[in-house]
Amino acid sequence: MNVVILDDYQDAVRACGLLDKLRGHDVTIHRDTVKGVDALAGRLKDAEAIVLIRQRTELSEELLERLPRLRLISQTAGVGSHIPMEACTRRKIAVTAGAAGNPSTVELTWALILAAMRRIPAEMEGMKRGKWQVAPMGRIVHGKTLGVYALGKIGGRVAQLAKAFGMNIHAWGREATAERARAEGFEMAKNREAFFESCDIVSIHLPLNKATRGLVTLKDLARMKPDSLFVNTSRADIIEAGALVTALRAGRPGFAAVDVYEEEPVLGGQHPLLRMDNVVCTPHLGYASYETLKDYLGLAIDRVAAFAAGKPRDVVNPEALA
């Protein structure tokens, strides 16, 4: 098969030793991202199978119409709104997906919290300039209140680790979050307003969908303390457009640690958060660890090989195989 792997920024397929799994197939790996139907159609015109790394590229129905040879989309982890499932099924394009949970995003969340609270990036830059202890004094997390918005697989683990740091945990979310909070002894906030007002650190752990797009508003952020920290390792569009930058400039919250952006990749330093001294930014590294990518990509590539061998598995839309 002609297999195209998109958006492999860190050359993970080769670095994780996965290319041999596709021996005998014609494989093209792209390490950058292109936008727009024309650019993607040119890149994918001969593809019979596409491997997508998370949601780095969106495949529109208009694009699929220009890919007559395409028979398989192999998605790392779960399927999101970036794949038009109905159009795939109608065009007999099978979509495969699925992966086991991984602690990578949990660990990055805590790396961001600790880096922001102790001003580590600013102090490192100061030392590079020949200075010593240049940033305002950092804060410890012990005794502080961590607010976790949604106690799912990632948020729940973030909350559990907070206990090891001696923190108080306040949760907010739907009924599933309330049930887990009761089961694990976490405190459920009285209401949404109290959640944002009472927490020293707020960490968001929600999937992006129609219900969560723009869910966290400027009013929510404006309720946070002047010395509080807002952390987002989920999706940028969960926050109301422009709200985080506006809130930070107004001083509530006082700080942010962000791994996700409205348009990715962010190139040329062209994002307002990168110009703010009270923000720690990372380039969407939540799942971009060696172990996670080896797992996610390995499974996605195995599904391509299985499909090519006439034994498709983990097909989300089996009707496409009819």
List the CATH number of the domain containing 203: 3.40.50.720
187 part of the active site: no
| Pair (173, 208) in one structural domain | yes
| Pair (196, 277) in one structural domain | yes
| Pair (126, 245) in one structural domain | yes
| Pair (247, 270) in one structural domain | yes
pTM: 0.94
235 part of the active site: yes
Return the pLDDT at 101: 73
Q: What value does the mean pLDDT take over residues 131-143? A: 97
| Pair (86, 166) in one structural domain | no
Return the pLDDT at 77: 86
Identify the active-site residue in 235, 252, 271, 303. Answer: 235
Residue range of the domain that includes 94: 2-101+290-321
pLDDT digits (tens, 9 = 90+) for 286-305: 999 999 999 999 999 999 99
User: Percent of the chain scored above 90 by pLDDT?
Assistant: 97
Return the pLDDT at 78: 87
284 part of the active site: yes
pLDDT digits (tens, 9 = 90+) for 203-254: 999 999 999 999 999 999 999 999 999 999 999 999 999 999 999 999 999 9
| Pair (221, 198) in one structural domain | yes
| Pair (118, 135) in one structural domain | yes
User: Percent of the chain scored above 70 by pLDDT?
Assistant: 100
Residue 196, judged by CB atoms within 10 A of its CB (0-12, 13-18, 19+), counts as buried
| Pair (254, 312) in one structural domain | no
Return the pLDDT at 80: 85
Q: 100: pLDDT confidence band, cut at 50, 70 and 90?
A: confident
Identify the active-site residue in 54, 180, 284, 303. Answer: 284
pLDDT digits (tens, 9 = 90+) for 163-182: 999 999 999 999 999 999 99
| Pair (180, 238) in one structural domain | yes
pLDDT digits (tens, 9 = 90+) for 62-76: 999 999 999 999 999
**Average pLDDT, rounded, for the chain:** 97
Q: 106: pLDDT confidence band, cut at 50, 70 and 90?
A: very high
Return the pLDDT at 319: 97
| Pair (218, 297) in one structural domain | no
| Pair (158, 236) in one structural domain | yes
| Pair (232, 276) in one structural domain | yes
Return the pLDDT at 187: 97
**Whether the predicted pLDDT of 102 surpasses 90:** no
Return the pLDDT at 316: 97
**Whether the predicted pLDDT of 99 surpasses 90:** no
Quote the number of domains for the chain: 2
Q: 91: pLDDT confidence band, cut at 50, 70 and 90?
A: very high
